[in-house]
């Protein structure tokens, strides 16, 4: 009875509420639709109010538009010109340092041991950054009778290794951005690794075959045969258009070095340092401008035309090097393009092989101006070295490309691996090899 009385009193209170006042249902008795609407209302009431949008100012400047592709192209062309000037300035300075004293010539002239000839040539070429200079020096020594043809062939192998140091230096221009540095360093390494792998096969083969025959090795014998069959006539060495175009800037830097010092060694050192600084400066601006619409156009042009396939890349590398008379220039030029992503690494490898062949053909033309048969034999051996290396490692290109990518990833994570490769391969290893060879020769000759 008491419960019934309470329920009746509650109903009477609800019916006696004033009109217009809503009765809130209890949570347990509320229907689903009403409960959902109430929940949405409560959630909506807890959201913070949206602030009104600020008024648009009539004096507010519009967002900056992207630099036109043609303007980026002009900047990139100027940077490319300065890049080529920097390479020639640096090479001119290093050659002045080497020519001021005859230690470079003495180093190669004393190479009566195949290993000494190889390592000595690596050091000389790494210093002057020009395999053409080293090859011309070797040919001169052979023509003068100060170096045998057999030792000259081993020295040419070292020149192939030493010329790739310029690529490594150019790759350091991308060191601030890890991804670009990894790609650029990979493009530089494929050149070095190809040369080292080829030397690892042909050097012992030439040395062993020379020891067995007691006369000359297989590579030298084949080069002598080809020299007799070719019967090359004397001709003048072709002029390099790159050197002609960059000559005004190079002469200006030489004039500046002359004003600073009168000593030839100091002048050469100043030129080398200024050339290196200009190289990094020009490379930095060139990579910066190879972005956006310009990069997309260049990438499309290279993909569809110049680097359409491996054969096209090989021909482009060969013809470009014959045209500019320097494999250091052509192979160094591809490094920033690969770093920017305009050229794929798998196309860089055949391009590099073509550049190696192009610089050797130039050597044959230059050597034909010398009537000594041994000089032409050295140049033909240089051509044979690169052709044999290409026939071996292009079908097995996954090995040099894979090795280059692996080490470039290490160098991108820690830059000390890049510096270890630079100084270890081109300075420490050749110097240690020369010292060990000299010590062993002294021990065996004394006994």
Residue pair 134/300 in contact (Cβ under 8 Å)? The answer is: no
pLDDT in tens, 131-185: 777 777 777 677 667 777 888 888 889 888 888 888 888 888 778 888 889 999 9
Q: Select the highest-mean-pLDDT range: 194-198, 213-217, 272-276, 366-370.
A: 194-198
Query: Of the ranges 310-319, 373-382, 396-405, which one carries the lowest mean pLDDT score?
Result: 373-382
pLDDT in tens, 333-387: 888 888 888 888 899 999 999 988 888 876 676 666 555 667 778 888 888 899 9
Q: Mean pLDDT, to the nearest integer, of 116-132?
A: 80
pLDDT at 39 exceeding the cut of 70: no
> Domain boundaries in the chain?
108-238+308-446
Torsion of CA 198, 199, 201, 205, to 10 degrees: 140
Judged by DSSP in three states, 152 sits in helix
Percentage of the chain modeled with pLDDT above 70 = 68
pLDDT at 6 exceeding the cut of 60: no
Q: Mean pLDDT, to the nearest integer, of 55-78?
A: 58
Q: Mean pLDDT, to the nearest integer, of 280-306?
A: 64
Identify which has the larger pLDDT, 5 or 303.
303
The DSSP secondary structure of 265-276, one letter per residue, reads HHHHHHHHHHHH
* pLDDT confidence tier of residue 272, bands split at 50, 70 and 90: confident
Mean of the per-residue pLDDT values for the chain? 75
The DSSP secondary structure of 173-238, one letter per residue, reads GGTTSHHHHHHHHHHHHHHHHHHHHHHHHHHHHHHHHHHHHSS--HHHHHHHHHHHHH-PPP-PPP
365/383 Cα distance (integer angstroms): 12
Q: Which two tokens stand for residue 338?
A: 């690969």
pTM: 0.68
306/324 Cα distance (integer angstroms): 17
What's the pLDDT score for residue 435? Answer: 82
Q: Which two tokens stand for residue 239?
A: 């002029």
What's the pLDDT score for residue 108? Answer: 63
CA-to-CA dists, residue 410 to 57, 111, 180, 181, 348, angstroms: 52, 36, 14, 11, 20
Q: What angle do CA 10, 15, 20 make, to 5 degrees?
A: 130
| Residue 417 phi, psi dihedral angles, 5° rounding | -65, -35
Residue pair 271/128 in contact (Cβ under 8 Å)? The answer is: no
What's the pLDDT score for residue 296? Answer: 57
Residue pair 341/183 in contact (Cβ under 8 Å)? The answer is: yes
What's the pLDDT score for residue 330? Answer: 79
330/285 Cα distance (integer angstroms): 19
Q: Mean pLDDT, to the nearest integer, of 106-114?
A: 65
Identify which has the larger pLDDT, 188 or 11.
188
What's the pLDDT score for residue 445? Answer: 62
**Token pair 């019967």: residue:** 231
Length of the chain, please?
A: 447
What's the pLDDT score for residue 84? Answer: 77
What's the pLDDT score for residue 93? Answer: 78
Secondary structure letter of residue 27 according to DSSP: T
Percentage of the chain modeled with pLDDT above 90 = 15
């Amino acid at each position: 009875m008491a419960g019934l009385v309470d329920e009746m009193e509650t109903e009477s209170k609800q019916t006696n509420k004033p009109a217009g006042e809503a009765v809130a249902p209890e949570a347990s008795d509320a229907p689903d639709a009403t409960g959902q609407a109430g929940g949405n209302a409560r959630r909506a009431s807890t959201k913070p109010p949206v602030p009104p949008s600020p008024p648009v100012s009539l004096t507010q400047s519009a967002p900056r538009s992207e630099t036109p592709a043609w303007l980026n192209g002009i900047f990139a062309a100027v940077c490319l010109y300065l890049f080529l000037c920097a390479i020639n300035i640096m090479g001119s300075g290093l050659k002045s340092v080497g020519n001021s004293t005859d230690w470079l010539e003495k180093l190669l002239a004393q190479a009566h041991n195949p290993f000494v000839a190889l390592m000595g040539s690596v050091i000389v070429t790494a210093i002057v950054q020009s395999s053409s200079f080293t090859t011309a020096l070797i040919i001169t020594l052979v023509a003068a009778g100060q170096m045998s043809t057999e030792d000259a062939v081993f020295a040419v192998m070292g020149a192939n290794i030493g010329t790739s140091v310029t690529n490594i230096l150019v790759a350091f221009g991308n060191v601030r951005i890890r991804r670009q540095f990894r790609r650029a360093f990979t493009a530089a390494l494929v050149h070095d690794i190809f040369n080292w792998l080829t030397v690892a096969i042909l050097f012992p083969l030439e040395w062993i075959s020379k020891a067995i025959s007691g006369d000359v090795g297989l590579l030298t014998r084949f080069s002598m045969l080809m020299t007799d069959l070719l019967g090359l006539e004397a001709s003048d060495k072709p002029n390099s258009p790159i050197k002609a175009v960059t000559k005004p800037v190079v002469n200006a830097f030489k004039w500046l070095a002359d004003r600073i010092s009168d000593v030839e060694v100091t002048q050469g050192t100043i030129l080398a340092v200024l050339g290196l600084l200009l190289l990094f400066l020009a490379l930095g601006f060139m990579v910066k401008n190879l972005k956006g619409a310009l990069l997309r156009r260049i990438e499309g042009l290279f993909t569809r035309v110049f680097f359409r396939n491996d054969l096209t890349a090989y021909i482009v590398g060969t013809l470009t090097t014959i045209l500019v008379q320097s494999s250091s220039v052509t192979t160094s030029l591809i490094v920033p393009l690969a770093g920017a992503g305009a050229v794929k690494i798998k196309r860089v490898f055949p391009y590099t092989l073509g550049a190696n062949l192009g610089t050797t053909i130039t050597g044959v033309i230059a050597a034909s101006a010398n009537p000594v048969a041994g000089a032409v034999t050295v140049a033909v051996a240089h051509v044979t070295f690169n052709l044999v290396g290409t026939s071996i490692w292009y079908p097995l290109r996954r090995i040099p490309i894979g090795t280059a990518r692996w080490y470039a990833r290490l160098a991108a994570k820690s830059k000390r691996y890049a510096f270890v490769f630079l100084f270890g391969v081109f300075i420490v290893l050749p110097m240690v090899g020369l010292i060990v060879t000299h010590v062993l020769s002294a021990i065996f000759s004394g006994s």
